[in-house]
Amino acid sequence: MAIDLPVLTRDILKSDDHLVQSFADLNALKQQGARTAIVSAKGTMVTDSDGNELIDGIGGLWCVNVGHGRREIIDAIRDQLETLDFYSTFYTFTHPAAAALAQKLGQLAPGNLNKVYFGNSGSVANDSAVRILQHYYRRLGRPEKRLVLSRNGAYHGSTFLAIAMTTPEYSKGWDKADNMVHHLKKPHYWREGDGMSEAEFLDMLMEDMRASIERIGAENIACFIAEPIMGAGGVIVPPEGYHRRAGDICRAYDIKFVADEVVTAFGRLGHFFASQDVFGTTPDIINTAKGLTSGYQPLSATIMSDEIHEVISGPDGVFLHGMTYSGHPAASAAALANIALMEQEQIPERVRTTGKLFEKTLKALEDIEIVGEVRGSHFMAGIEFVSDKQSKALFPEAMNIGMKVARRAQARGLIARPLGHILILSPTLILSEAEIARIGDILRESILDVMAEVR
């Protein structure tokens, strides 16, 4: 049965509809109804309800890695649903798609990360990792080892625990389970490293980590959680060696290292996983979601070491954790087809070239007076705007400079994501060189327009 979707008119998009939108100014939506309805998508492009074709500069939401409308993934989902629409992975039940995907992830993940717990979002993957590690230490007779070290600038999701692990700006005025989480300093050299060399800044960060552990007591800390490159906190690439040294500190204090690779895995940085191949660390747990299915189905994976699994699968104790849709057949099939496509088309390998070109193209925008820093790696980019390059002073918050640029870019055919005074780009990984150049041109024209307006 074909589902009859309404043709989205301005009226449907206006204030009186029923959809509560994430991270939106709900009052502004009510007043202005200024929404963008995306009605179809193909390859690197999406089409809005007015028929405008736009380059999807944010890959859905850091997730449509292989591009939109890939027949292979759509067919795999349909075939799976026709064979087995749903069965759970609770109790003794399993099914071929989840089992095959877990095995494949065990092969792709570094080191002895071989055991996989599926969820349906990045937030759930991060919550699951903490619950699993608390359970792990309890089984080792150390129930007090339950706290989490996170970082200012981090984004780990929106469930109660994930938002508590996220940088506090994301929960301003909202309650959260923050008695379990301690935030370390943000590893952003350009903004926070004044007067220090990058090496000194890194030493300072490591000293902050060590001192925090000493103060809290390693005997109370279960894990350190970190994105290899912070994403929604503004695309922050840590100083060279940061993750290796943080990993060494974790090992020295018997604190588990959880890498939140919800964004950085599945090709975005040129590898299936970034922890080992880009940053030289093998965490105890890698969490991933988004690019795992390229967004075609909701799915996350908490990939843990054999050692952790050995402890939680010992005698006496049921694994009291589960989501109905953990390892959903259609989502698992989507992930298997997505990974097969990435392997066939060597997408991570190609990103090592095209992603570098993207990086270079955007970096060139730093010659514009109001562009303070262009940062990121491969297909993760952040552009930070300043009112004064020398002092790095920001424009007034109310000016919403990122939004101003994003609106201009969208009018020229590019979707980018504003985040206060930062603009984020995380496109599909299949952009052509011409499309990369076009993105560079649109951004330049849009930023210059806004500069003329605000100067």
Give the footprint of ligand PLP on this chain (CB under 6 A). 121-123, 126, 155-157, 227, 231-232, 260, 262-263, 289
Shortest CB 419 distance to ligand PLP, Å: 12
Strand partners, 117: 302
What is residue 7's DSSP assignment?
P
Scanning the structure block, which residue is given the tokens 């992603």?
Answer: 355
The secondary structure of 55-104 as a DSSP string is: EETTHHHHT-TT-BT-HHHHHHHHHHHHH-S----STT---HHHHHHHHH
Give residue number: closest CB to ligand PLP.
Answer: 122
Shortest CB 59 distance to ligand PLP, Å: 11
Cα(154)–Cα(168) distance, integer angstroms: 9
Nearer to ligand PLP, 150 or 282 (CB): 150
Shortest CB 3 distance to ligand PLP, Å: 24
Nearer to ligand PLP, 147 or 265 (CB): 265
Nearer to ligand PLP, 122 or 418 (CB): 122
Shortest CB 260 distance to ligand PLP, Å: 5
Shortest CB 83 distance to ligand PLP, Å: 27
Shortest CB 63 distance to ligand PLP, Å: 8
Cα(385)–Cα(405) distance, integer angstroms: 10
The kind and range of the H/E element at 226 are: strand 221-226
- Calculate ∠ Cα 37-38-43, nearest 5°: 170
- Rama region for 423: left / alpha / beta (φ>0; ψ in -120 to 50; rest): beta
Cα(108)–Cα(267) distance, integer angstroms: 12
Shortest CB 32 distance to ligand PLP, Å: 25
Cα(244)–Cα(133) distance, integer angstroms: 21
Shortest CB 455 distance to ligand PLP, Å: 33
Identify residue 407 by its one-letter amino acid code.
R
Shortest CB 101 distance to ligand PLP, Å: 17
Nearer to ligand PLP, 122 or 348 (CB): 122
Nearer to ligand PLP, 233 or 440 (CB): 233
Cα(332)–Cα(287) distance, integer angstroms: 16
Nearer to ligand PLP, 262 or 333 (CB): 262
Cα(331)–Cα(445) distance, integer angstroms: 40
Q: Is 316 exposed, middle or buried (0-12, 13-18, 19+ CB in 10 A)?
A: exposed
Shortest CB 386 distance to ligand PLP, Å: 25
Tokens matching residue 388: 């004064």
Nearer to ligand PLP, 239 or 298 (CB): 298
Nearer to ligand PLP, 303 or 447 (CB): 303
Shortest CB 395 distance to ligand PLP, Å: 25
Nearer to ligand PLP, 153 or 239 (CB): 153
CA atoms within a 13 Å half-sphere pointing along the CA-CB vector of 420: 13
Q: Which alpha helices (H) appear in 221-372, and where do they start and end?
A: 242-252, 274-277, 306-312, 329-344, 347-363
Tell me the CA end-to-end span of the chain in Å, nearest whole number.
56
- Beta strand 147-151 with 181-184 is parallel
CA atoms within a 13 Å half-sphere pointing along the CA-CB vector of 61: 13
Nearer to ligand PLP, 145 or 186 (CB): 186
User: For residues 247 and 283, is the Cβ–Cβ distance under 8 A?
Assistant: yes
Cα(342)–Cα(351) distance, integer angstroms: 11
Nearer to ligand PLP, 118 or 395 (CB): 118
